[in-house]
Amino acid sequence: MGALLSDVGAIFSAILSNDSWMISEAMRKDGAWVIGFFATFFGAALVVWIYRLVPFIDRHLERTIMVWSYLIISAIIFVEVFRRFVLSEQAPWSTTLPPFLFLIMTWFGCAFNVRLRTHLAFAEFRTSMPRLGQMACLTLDVVLWFGFSWIVVVTSTRVAFNSAANFQIMLGTDNVMQWWFLTTVPVSFVLLCARAFENYLDDIANYRSGEDLINQAVIGGE
């Protein structure tokens, strides 16, 4: 326990130093899992509070990010294909930026679909279970989503800090850093965890009121 607390202290000390190399080295220690646990839990709780406070963000955040990422990817591909085969020229970053944008679109889209319950649904199986069994499965869902998010937040944050410490620049550019895009992964998984918490709050309310707990999920639905 003493060594774990020492690791946590080292991480906070490195963050206060604002040195990416020191942070990257400190994040390799086990204390990162402790900080990651609380960052994921309280970060998700904060996001749920913001969603409840501003319903517009709740309804449109992930979808807006997904649509704009997709449009930018499509525009880059269309323009650069035209320039390459018609004008015989091409921007050097046109093949490296779209994968990062796709990364953003994918994980924010995953968070959105968690809200729609199109992941870990098993609706046909669960509807045949007793009500208490259904609630147990929904509880397992939120535990699993939190566990997945916790793991990804810690590991992807390590990757982002390592990228910053090594000054990794996006290929084809002079000063666009890779970690700017990599940090969107832990952020998106905090949002994903928030969606899982949001669903579970609805489940608790439905369980207490006697409403149906399991409904058929529809991809792209409301």
139: Cβ–Cβ under 8 A, 6 or more apart, which residues?
200
Q: Which residue has the tokens 């490296």?
A: 96
> For residue 219, what pLDDT is reported?
58
Residue (of 120, 117, 114, 104) closest to 187 by Cα position: 104
Contact 160, 182 (CB under 8 A): yes
> For residue 118, what pLDDT is reported?
79
> For residue 8, what pLDDT is reported?
73
CA distance 64 to 108: 10
Which residue type does 140 have? L
Positions of the chain with pLDDT lower than 70, given as ranges: 1-2, 4, 7, 120-121, 123, 216-222
46: Cβ–Cβ under 8 A, 6 or more apart, which residues?
none
> For residue 184, what pLDDT is reported?
93
> For residue 1, what pLDDT is reported?
67
> For residue 218, what pLDDT is reported?
59
**H/E run at residue 133:** helix 131-165
CA distance 189 to 195: 10
> For residue 197, what pLDDT is reported?
95
> For residue 143, what pLDDT is reported?
94
> For residue 221, what pLDDT is reported?
52
Task: Tell me the CB-side half-sphere exposure of residue 179, using CA atoms within 13 A.
Answer: 14
